[in-house]
Structure 1
Amino acid sequence: MCYSAQIEADYDKFVREWGAIISIKRFVELFWEKRKDGGWSKIPKAMREAFRKPHGEEGFELAKLVAEGDREQAVALQAGLDAQVARLQRAEAVLAGPKPTKSASSDKRIATDKISRAPRNLDDLTSKEPKDHDTRIDPGIYAPVMIEKDGQRIVVPMRYQCPLPGWNEKTERRYAGTYNARRDNLEKSWGKLFGHRHRIMIVTRFYENVSRHKMEGRELATGEKEENVVLKFDPRPPQEMLVACLWNMSLGADHGTDLFTFAAITDEPPPEVLAAGHDRCIVPIKPEHVDAWLSPGPNNLEALYAILDDRARPYYEHRLAA
């Protein structure tokens, strides 16, 4: 399954190349909600940066939210760093005393680790130089996606992890893998969305967890423990992939705000992905199928399966992720 991906967050490109409009209202709602509930880090930096310079009157509100959200995040990161420094000092004082404790040793280890990460987090927040992880999404993170409504393509932000219709938070926690929808399960578990709510995510790379011995094409050695590694897969030639996805909307599920979510469809992998140790792969559809995919019909599922079968088929080059 695709557990992480490099997204396209250039909204001008959505407008220019796909004739889409931007749902400013939905972006404002999301940015405002994530500022309030402490979820600012769930919005990728590239997704925020695209709105830092306002375009039109509506854009000024978004630009203001971005600036305020980043400023609040910086304050929170600094406060967290100060708290860990104080925690480290207390732990070291106990360890230097006559009765060192396991708790103090644990506090020192945790605080040291968090202190080492804090400058990187602050630098990531304020850096003007684009980095790969600025556009990378994992389950639970938001991404701009393209849907169609009343004949108009619209770009809206949605969370990458899709509870099925009728689920509550408890059910979603129990079934946490719904950021991907298996092709062979579309009419079963995903039947209320497949043929009804389709969308496209534009990605340039995806990441997978694989076992090291599978990546190396061998069996586990006697006594060897299974080791996980993360691979990144780049399409060759380099290209933007139009990933087929399903989406859902849960009324009031995000602290009273409607929650928009999506899942990427996955299928059997091409040979090079299977040889690298992974048994699933995202499905990039061809540009000529975008209209038909975004305007599905539940009475003609065969046509939708045909789109998934007639997919774009780049060669996926892999290497270990940093």
Structure 2
Amino acid sequence: MCYSAQIVADYRKYVKRFGADMNIHDFARLYWDRADGSAVKTPRSMDAAFADPATDDERQIKAAIDDFAAKQTVKLEQDLFKQRTRLADAERTLLTKTTKAATESKRIATDKIETALRGLDDLRRSEVKERDSRIFPGWYAPVMIVQDGKRVIVPMRFRCRLPGWTAKTEIAKDGTYNARRDSLSTAWRKLFGYQHGIIMVDWFYENVKRDGQNVVLRFDPTPGEPLLIACLWNRWTSPGEPDLLSFGAITDEPPPEVAAAGHDRCIVPIKPENIDAWLNPDPKNLAAQYAILDDRVRPYYEHRLAA
């Protein structure tokens, strides 16, 4: 069901390829909310698009990104000090007596030290790495939609909060990053035919069972062109609450090679010539939208164990 994907996270690539505009206000609100302590997760490659701002709005976003990084640096440095102290205490205990508690404390402290150091390294480096474009459910990504007749890029959370839901509903039904094709006329009926989007994906990851164990496979489309993945999205509003933009990727039965690898779903890439028809749906002609999903790009997906 595409629990994770390698995306094109730089909004400028959407602007260049599709002639889309960026909704600067939604991007600014997202980054300022994160700097103020909101639980917002963005891929580093999306942040990196604002590393060299050219306008006042972009400079404000860059300031919010820098503010968040500074706060995260302080938090990680404090945790690093705490865990190094914990590790030293455990090692002193183990010098005189081997106990289960001290051994476990040493293991946990060592793991957390490695995590903190890795986080600090990520915050301090300027170059963008391949892993910086990977998203998971709950992370934000740029999504192309149509607003007022124009293609627009907006940041949305990858897990859709459906119309009429609350945050509590979402906790109980947390699989809405996956918009199943066979549920479009039921669970997704208020969005299918109304609010369609596209996200560019380079490849995707899936959990599969191998010899009784869970492994993560990476599926690469051949040829290796970015896929235009069909999505449904929603702007959730509630009195006294900030708006939430979120989306789910449409999935369907897998092609033979994905099924043979052990997974039963696959994201749906649409053809470039169907972009406008997909982004401007007619709710009175859902058959046309189903036809777009059926007339999809059908690459061959090579797979391998994820690094």
Query: Which band: TM-score by shorter chain?
Result: over 0.9
1:306 aligns with 291
The size of the alignment, in residue pairs, is: 307
| 1:18 positional shift | 0.6
Aligned match of 2:306: 321
Q: Partner of 1:46 in structure 2?
A: 45
| Residue aligning to 1:80 | 79
Q: Distance in 2 between matches of 1:93 and 1:294?
A: 63
1:165 aligns with 163
Task: State the partner residue of 2:230.
Answer: 244
Moved more, 112-121 or 43-52: 112-121
Please give the alpha-carbon distance, in whole angstroms, between the structure 1 residues aligned to 2:222 and 2:39: 35
1:304 corresponds to which letter in structure 2? Q
For 1:279, the equivalent position in structure 2 comes to 264
Partner of 1:130: 128
For 2:65 and 2:162, locate their aligned partners in 1 and report how far apart those are by CA, in whole Å: 31
Kindly provide the amino acid, as one letter, of the partner of residue 254 in structure 2: P
Q: Distance in 1 between matches of 2:141 and 2:13?
A: 15
Match of 1:228 among 201, 214, 217: 214
**Please, which moves more after superposition, 29-38 or 43-52?**
29-38
- Structure 1: give runs of 5+ residues left out of the alignment: 214-225
Structure 1 residue aligned with 2:22: 22
Distance 2:85 2:238 in 1: 39
Instruction: Report the TM-score when normalising by structure 2.
Output: 0.95
Identity of aligned residues (%): 55
Q: Which shifted more, 29-38 or 116-125?
A: 116-125
**How far is the alpha carbon of 1:105 from its aligned partner?**
3.3
- 3-state SS of paired residue (2:36): helix
C-alpha contact 2:28 2:57 (8 A) present in aligned 1: no
Residues 1:260 and 1:61: Cα distance change in structure 2 (over 3 Å)? same
Tell me how far 1:128 sits from its aligned partner: 2.7
CA contact (8 A) 2:6 2:203 kept: yes
Amino acid at match of 1:308: L
Root mean square deviation of aligned Cα: 1.7
- Aligned partner of 1:207 in structure 2 is 205
Deviation for aligned residue 1:252: 4.8
Q: 1:91 touches 1:105 (CA, 8 Å); kept in 2?
A: yes
Counterpart of 1:64, as a letter, is A
User: Could you report, residue by residue, the CA deviation over 1:235-271 in whole angstroms, capped at 9, with x for unpaired residues?
Assistant: 1111011000001122159x93211110000001111
Would the aligned equivalents of 2:9 and 2:43 in 1 still touch at CA under 8 Å? no
TM-score of the aligned structures, taking structure 1 as reference length: 0.91
Q: Which amino acid in structure 2 is aligned with residue 10 of structure 1? A: D
Structure 2 runs not aligned, ≥5 long: none
Is 1:90 the counterpart of 2:89 in the alignment? yes
How far does the alpha carbon of each residue in 1:155-205 deviate from its partner, in whole angstroms, 9 at most, with x for none?
Answer: 010000112211112211111111101001101111111111111011111
Residue in structure 2 matched with residue 3 of structure 1 by the alignment: 3
Which of 167, 177, 180 is residue 178 of structure 2 equivalent to?
A: 180
Asked if 1:270 is matched to 2:268, the reply is no
Q: Is the partner of 2:179 in helix, strand or coil?
A: strand
